Amino acid sequence: MLGEGIIQGLVETARNFFGSYVEKDRLTTVQYPEERLPLPEASRVFPFLLYDGKDPDAGLRCVACQICEKECPPRCIHIEKSKDKKPDFVGKMQVYPAVFDIDVSVCMSCQICVEVCPFDAIRMDKVFELSTDNRFRKLLYTKKELSKPNEYYQKIHPLEAAETDERRAKEAEEAKAKAAAAEAAAKAKAAAAAATPPVGEASGNGAAAPAKLAETKGSPQ
């Protein structure tokens, strides 16, 4: 019968129309600004820098190794190394970024910087409502705007953060143990040195010895 197909289609639309009153699955619209869906854990927008503790300058994990700068496909990261050093989480002296800028108008949210960073210093943020009225200055994020505490990371990516924290705690512990062992070894050495006075005396004069040696070297003339 002519028109059968049209009726068949109209039955379908009618089913969806009336179904939308009863079935949740047929009424999927979310009234966005008022109503928000939770973002999945893996969701990513733009990168940010992590710091431990309270002070963003002292606790910044980034050591300005510039790997992310090199690997970023559109090259939107700009890093300048500092002249001086500061201790990192295991107490090793490291340089830190004096300048760390990300141009988010260029960034394509690819997460490659996160993947390649060997220091767990950079992670993806989930904030997506970032429109501004100034497309130059306000879309260039500096170190200050990028630095966010580890608690924030734990909040937005709980599983991932727990894993990272665990690994870092282990590393720190190992480093501590190593440092303690080294210290103990140094102490033991010192103790051993102290226990044998004759050598100790000799080594006590050690500082002056090279000068003497130089003198003796020079003396034949």
Partner 1 sequence: MRDALLDRPVYEPEEGEIMEVSMGPHHPSTHGVFRMDVKLEGERVMKLKPVFGYLHRNHEKIAEHGAYLAAIPYTDRLDYLCSMTNNWGYVLAVEKLAGLQVPERAEYLRVIVAELTRFQNHAGLIGFLLQDMGASGTPLMYAFREREKILDLFESLSGARMMCNYMRFGGLRVDATKEWLDEVRALIALLPGFVDEFEALLRANEILMARTQGTGVLPRELAINASVTGPMLRASGVNYDIRKVDHYGVYDRFSFKVPLGEHGDVYDRYMMRLLEMRETVKILEQALKDIPEGPVMDPKVRLRGLRPKAGEAYGRIESPKGELGFFLISDGTGNPYRYRVRPPCMINLTILEDMCLGHNIADVVIILGSVDIVLGEVDR
CA distance linking residue 59 with residue 57, whole number of Å: 6
Closer CB to partner 1, 38 or 220, in the complex: 38
| Shortest distance in whole angstroms from residue 46 CB to ligand SF4 | 7
Q: Which does 28 bind (CB under 5 to 8 A by kind): ligand SF4, partner 1, none?
A: partner 1
Q: Does 16 bind partner 1 (CB under 8 A)?
A: yes
Give whichever of 44 and 61 is closer to partner 1, judged by the CB atom.
44
Stretch that binds ligand SF4, among 20-28, 114-122, 131-139, 195-203 (CB under 6 A): 114-122
- 173-209: b (≥16 Cβ within 10 Å) or e: eeeeeeeeeeeeeeeeeeeeeeeeeeeeeeeeeeeee
Question: Residue 52 interacts with ligand SF4 (CB under 6 A)?
Answer: no
Of 48, 52, 121, 147, the residue at the interface with ligand SF4 (CB under 6 A) is 121
In whole angstroms, the minimum distance from the beta carbon of 17 to partner 1 comes to 10
List the one residue from 21, 28, 33, 136 that touches partner 1 (CB under 8 A).
28
User: At its nearest, how many Å lie between ligand SF4 and the CB of residue 102?
Assistant: 5
Q: Which of 79, 146, 156, 161 binds ligand SF4 (CB under 6 A)?
A: 79
Among 57, 81, 105, 109, binds partner 1 (CB under 8 A): 109
Q: Give me the residues that bind partner 1 (CB under 8 A), please.
A: 2-6, 8-9, 11-13, 15-16, 28, 39-44, 67, 71-73, 108-112, 115-116, 124
